[in-house]
Chain A
Amino acid sequence: MIGYNANWNPVFQHWHEFLLGAWLDVWVTLISFVLACLLGVAVALLRLSGLRLLAWPAFAYVQLVRGVPLLVFLYWVYFGLAIVAGLAFSGVEAAIVALTLTGSAYTAEIFRAAVSSVDRGHPEAATALGFTRRATFVHVVFPQALRIALPPLGNTLVGLLKGATLISAIGVSDMVFQAQQINLSYFTPFEPFTAVAVLLVALVAVVSLLLTGLERALRLP
């Protein structure tokens, strides 16, 4: 490169911090994803309830949350909501709240579409066999919907992982934060940001492989 002496030593000296930072990103992503799935199922059930009074707020929630950028959400929760509600969120807590809410709007749509795409004949058959409404949903419709929902849920998981890299913007010491620290201490911007880019691509590749494996394992014979 033109007059730029690459110096990878700082990155290698701090590899431990990088990995710890990456682990923080993964950890925040996983917790948010699980919470987003639970909240998403709840919102989807409201939308599918057939009661306009429940379905409409759920629809508005999804539209609202999907229209707001994650970074705006993150700042809104961390700086805004914290002051108004008198809560002192830590960076990680604010990140989990923002990622969960954003994720839930997407998972709600995924679950709704998946439940709707389960063949009508199955719940009818279950009802004919004397299943209650609840048993029909839990034992017949939901397990099938989950399998249909798996590929798009995987995309949401990867999206949340990429979103989680934003948390250094509110001061959480994740892997991007470590890269910024190295840039500030050693004035070598190229190497640490390349390192986090490589780490993220590797993480996404691992998650994608796991998801492909899971899809194959759950595929109908």
Chain B
Amino acid sequence: MSALAPGLLGYTFRWSIVPEVMGELAHGVRITLELSGLSVVFALALGLLVALARGSRLAPLRIAAYVYIQLFRALSLYIYVLWIYFGIAAAVGVNLSPLEAGVIALTFLNSAYMAEIYRSALGAVDRGQHEAAFSLGFSRPRAFATVILPQAIRVAVPSLVNQFVDIVKDSSIVAIVGTSDLMGVTTQLVGYYRAPFELYTVLAGFYLSIVLLISAAAAVLERRLQRHLR
């Protein structure tokens, strides 16, 4: 180990190991993005279904969606992923990979939050838009798909992006069941190099960078979606 620098209270920092581990961390970034990317896509789709059920005219469907949302919003990802990876896997007799368990847990948990975002966005679309679509002879599904939903999604984008950021951050918890995402890779590296401060600081920097990049991309997207208003 070169470049030793004396630190606080006699601690010697070993920042020189950081360049050595960049390859592994880059692999970890890929897994983290895969994990959170898949989860966000599935959660967006499942969340829309739940939101539609929540706004349905059928009472049983509405109540089921309400219970679903309340239940998943009360659970922590940690407990949920342990429950799926160890509990459900044993009970049903399937063998899930840690990554699969992570995608399932992140998808279901976040679909509940996504459903609430969709619901408030759909509610924010002006009543007149429905009425105009119907008076033009649009069927209900067609009015929803071509008139209401596109406007709702524009309203929902900032909240959906926040949710995506939360998914990326929460995906670190999935490492508990043994994925080699950023978190998992770093924990293994800490075991090998025994430099927890340096490696976890770098890890925090990686997550922060991903989050800031997503926020920056979202700001561009939001500006594009507002173009027609200028």
Contact = CB atoms under 8 A, between A and B. Distances in A.
Interface of A: 1-4, 6, 63-64, 66-73, 75-76, 79-81, 83-86, 158, 162-163, 165-166, 169, 176, 179-180, 183, 188-191, 193-194, 196-197, 200-201, 204-205
B22 interface: no
B76 interface: yes
Contacts of A193: 79, 82-83, 86-87
Given A68-B204, A72-B207, A166-B173, A79 B190 contact: yes
Interface in B161-178: 169-170, 172-173, 175-176
B169 A69 contact: yes
Given A176-B78, A194-B83, A194-B87, A84 B172 contact: no
A124 B79 CA distance: 50
What is the predominant secondary structure among interface residues of chain B facing chain A? helix
Contacts of B199: 80
B211 interface: yes
A2 B196 contact: no
Contacts of B86: 183, 189-190, 193
A166 B169 contact: no
A6 B76 contact: no
A200 B92 CA distance: 23
Nearest to A187: B90
A134 to B, nearest CB: 35
A166 B80 CA distance: 11
Contacts of A6: 91
Given A165-B76, A204-B74, A85 B87 contact: no
22 contacts: A63-B212, A69-B169, A72-B203, A75-B200, A79-B196, A79-B197, A79-B200, A80-B197, A84-B8, A84-B13, A85-B11, A166-B76, A169-B176, A179-B82, A183-B86, A188-B90, A189-B86, A190-B86, A197-B75, A197-B79, A200-B79, A205-B74
Contacts of A1: 91-93
A3 B212 CA distance: 47
Main secondary structure of the interface of A (DSSP, over half): helix
A76 B91 contact: no
A38 B228 CA distance: 44
B197 A200 contact: no
A6, A71, A179, most chain B CB atoms within 10 A: A71
Contacts of A196: 79
Contacts of B83: 190, 193-194, 197
Nearest to A180: B82
A173 to B, nearest CB: 15
Contact of B8 (A71, A85, A205): A85
Given A67-B212, A69-B170, A190 B88 contact: yes
- Top 7 closest A-B pairs, CB basis? A80-B197, A189-B86, A79-B196, A162-B76, A67-B208, A204-B74, A69-B169
A175 B173 CA distance: 17
Contacts of A201: 71, 74-75
